[in-house]
Amino acid sequence: MKLTRWMVTGVLLVGLLMLPSCFNTKDVKIGVIIPQEGSSLQEEGYQITSGIKQALDDLKQSGKLIKNYELIIKNEDRHDANSVIKAFNELKEAGVSAIIGAASSASTMALVPLANEAKIVLLSPGSSSPEINSGEDSGDSIFRNQPSDTLEAQTLCNVIFQKCRMQKVLMVRSKTAYAEGVTYAMLRFGRQARHQIPDEVIKFDVDTANVDFVAVVDRIVEHAPDAVFLGGYTDELIPLIGEIKKREELASMFVFSSSAFVPTRVVNALDAETLALGPKGLEGVMFSSYHFEPQEGTAQHQEFARKFEENYHVKPDIYAANGYDAMIVLATTIDKADHWLQNAVRDELNKLNFDAELTHGLILRETDFNKRGDVTRIPQIYRMVEGKPVRLQPEDINEIRDYILTKI
C-alpha cells in the first residue's frame, strides 16, 4: 500500500502523542558506584550511600524539585577494577544522567576515561588522589567534592616542617592509588621544606594478611626518623600502628596520617587482643581531617544528624556529609539542564553558583568547583588524646617544636 503524505504525517503525530508515556523527560536516573556490604570500605560506603539517600528524601520533601529522581546503586570493589568498569557500563546502559562515585581513588581513576568518553558526569564524594584531575587526560566530566590530597599535604607539611621544625620524616604507605597520591604530595612539599626525607618509601601490601608488619617496623627503626607519615586507609594502618606502639625504640617518634584514617571508627570497634591496642592505643597519633561536627552547626546540620541517626542507626561522619552534598549538587544541576543532551549536565555544573542557587542547603558549604572539577576546603590537624580526636592547638605545636629543637 502506498502511503500518502497525510498518512505519514498522521503516523508521526500519533507517535509524538504517545512519546510522553514511554519517554518522560522529567524522569532522571542517577547512578551510584560506592562500596556496599562486604567491601573493605563498607563503612565509608554505608555513610556515603546513606547520605545520598537522605539528601534525595529531603529534596523530595522540599517540593522544589522539577524532575523525578531514581537511584541505581552498584557495588564498588576497589580491589577489582573490572567489576567497577562493569558497574559503570551497566549504569550507562540504564541511561543514567550522572554518576556519584567512586569512593576510592583507584576506582575513580579506572572510571575517568569511560566517563569522559561517554560524556557522563562523574562526581566522586570520596576520592582524593591528585592524579584524578591532573593533566590533559583528566577530561571535563570529572568532578569531586572530596578535596585533593594536595591540600592535606600542604597543611601537614606546614605543621611538620615549618611549625614543628622536624628534620627527618619517613614515608610509609600501602600499595593503593590513594596512598600513593597523598604520599607523593607529601614528598613534593616536604622536600621543598627540608632535605632530610629518606629516599626510601616503605610500601606494604593492601591485603594486611600478607604483610609482615614486624619487618615493616624494623625498617622504620633502621631509619630512626623524628616522625613517620602513614599513607593508607584505616584498616591498613591499624596493625601497623599496633606494631609501632610495641617498639621502645620508637617511643619518642611522632606518627602522622591523613583524612582517610578515621580513628573514632577504630576506637569504637577496637579488638585489643587481636590488634594489641586498647582504647588509648592510638594515643598521640596526629592526622589531617575536615571538620564535621553537626551539633556545632546550624539547625539544618543538627536536623541532618538527627534524621541520619534515626534512619541509618549510626552517627553521620564526613563521608555521609559528602554523599549528601553530592546528591544535592547533582539534583540542583540536572533540574536546570536538558539531561538528555550530552555535556548539558557538565556545562550546568560548571556555571552553577552554589551559594545562591542550590535547591537545598549543603552540609559542608564550600562546593564551588574550580576549572579542574576540584573543590577547595582547608583541613585541620587533630591528635588522639585518651581515645578521642582533639584539634591540635598552637601550644601543642610549640611543645613538639621545643622537643625537636632540644633533641637536635
pTM for this model (two decimals): 0.80
pLDDT the model gives residue 16: 43
Q: How far apart are CA 96 and CA 32, in angstroms?
A: 10
Rounded to whole angstroms, how far apart are CA atoms 348 and 353? 10
Are 170 and 225 in contact, with CB atoms under 8 Å apart?
yes
Per-residue model confidence (pLDDT) at position 272: 43
Identify the pLDDT of residue 20. 44
Instruction: Find all residues with CB under 8 Å of 310, minimum gap 6, and list them.
Output: none
What span, in angstroms and rounded, lies between the C-alpha atoms of 149 and 259?
9
pLDDT value for 191: 87
Closest CA to 267 of 234, 244, 243: 234
Give the architecture (CATH level 2) of 150-289+380-407: 3-Layer(aba) Sandwich (3.40)
HEC sequence for 213-233: HHHHHHHHHHHCCCEEEEECC
Dihedral sign for Cα 302, 305, 309, 314, please: negative
As beta bridge partners, residue 171 has 229
Q: In what order do the strands lie in the sheet with 380-385?
A: 202-204, 169-174, 227-231, 254-257, 286-289, 380-385, 388-391
Q: Secondary structure of the chain: what % helix, strand, coil (to 5)?
A: 50, 15, 35
Which sequence spans correspond to the domains of the chain?
25-147+295-357, 150-289+380-407
CATH class of this structure's domain 25-147+295-357? alpha beta
Rg of the Cα atoms in the chain: 24
Say what the pLDDT of residue 352 is.
Answer: 66
- Which 3 state secondary structure label does DSSP give 257? strand
Residue with cell 604520599: 183
**Do the domains 25-147+295-357 and 150-289+380-407 sit in the same CATH topology, yes or no?**
yes
pLDDT digits (tens, 9 = 90+) for 62-89: 888 889 999 999 999 988 999 999 999 9
Chain segment 180-190, per-residue pLDDT in tens: 999 999 999 98
Residues of the chain with pLDDT under 70: 1-24, 135-139, 194-195, 264-280, 352-360, 365-371, 373, 408
**Model pLDDT, residue 6:** 45
Answer yes or no: are the C-beta atoms of 66 and 59 closer than 8 Å. no
CA distances from 229 to 66, 185, 290, 405 (A): 48, 12, 18, 20
How confident is the model at residue 35, as a pLDDT?
Answer: 94
